[in-house]
Amino acid sequence: MANETRDIHRPFALRAATQADFRAIKSLIHTVGINPTGLDWRRFAVAVKPEGELVGCGQLKPHRDGSHELASIAVIREMRGKGVARAIIERLLTEHTGDVYLTCRASLGPLYRKFGFRTAEVAEMPRYFRTVKRFANLIQRLGIMEEGLLVMKREG
């Protein structure tokens, strides 16, 4: 991952995560309530304020089946709506030339379509994502999860 990227129009800079960021990454993931499994600081891009405070993160996570997942996109509440998530997503996607998948709440589908993602059909999903989709469908039918889960794909 390239070094820090600063834009004078944004109140944050983007850079590759360092090991020193890992505690803040885990804390942010926990705070926003997203899947905390498979966190590896070496795969993360982070957004930081000029004084160094981590305000957002995201990773491109490889799976055993050879697929790659855009994952762990999180932004602190006071920085939402300021382009942090967009900048992180764009950076991660420019660094990977192959297909990329993601899982998200159905209501977030329109957001990811802006980045070239589309809803993936079960037959085209790599094994990992088929398993996730089956599990999500089950917990939704059981009433544990209100909103459906999408598996989306962006072709590289």
Closest CA to 57 of 100, 14, 108: 14
pLDDT digits (tens, 9 = 90+) for 115-125: 999 999 999 99
Which residue bears the tokens 């050879």?
A: 66
CATH code, domain carrying 47: 3.40.630.30
Which of 48, 78, 96 lies at the terminal end of a domain, its last residue?
96
> Could you tell me the residue range of the domain that residue 111 belongs to?
99-156
- What does DSSP say about strands 44-48 and 13-16: parallel, antiparallel, or unpaired? antiparallel
Which residue bears the tokens 């957001």?
A: 111
**In this structure, are 64 and 103 located in the same domain?**
no
Based on the structure, what is the number of domains in the chain? 2
Looking at residue 22, its pLDDT comes to 97
**In this structure, are 74 and 129 located in the same domain?**
no
pLDDT digits (tens, 9 = 90+) for 56-77: 999 999 999 999 999 999 999 9
**In this structure, are 73 and 127 located in the same domain?**
no
Provide the whole-model pTM. Answer: 0.87
Q: What is the mean pLDDT of the chain?
A: 90
**In this structure, are 1 and 43 located in the same domain?**
yes
Between the two ends of the chain, the Cα-to-Cα distance in Å is 18
Looking at residue 13, its pLDDT comes to 95
Q: Cα–Cα distance between 64 and 126 in angstroms, integer?
A: 10
**In this structure, are 107 and 67 located in the same domain?**
no
CB atoms within 10 A of CB 44: 25
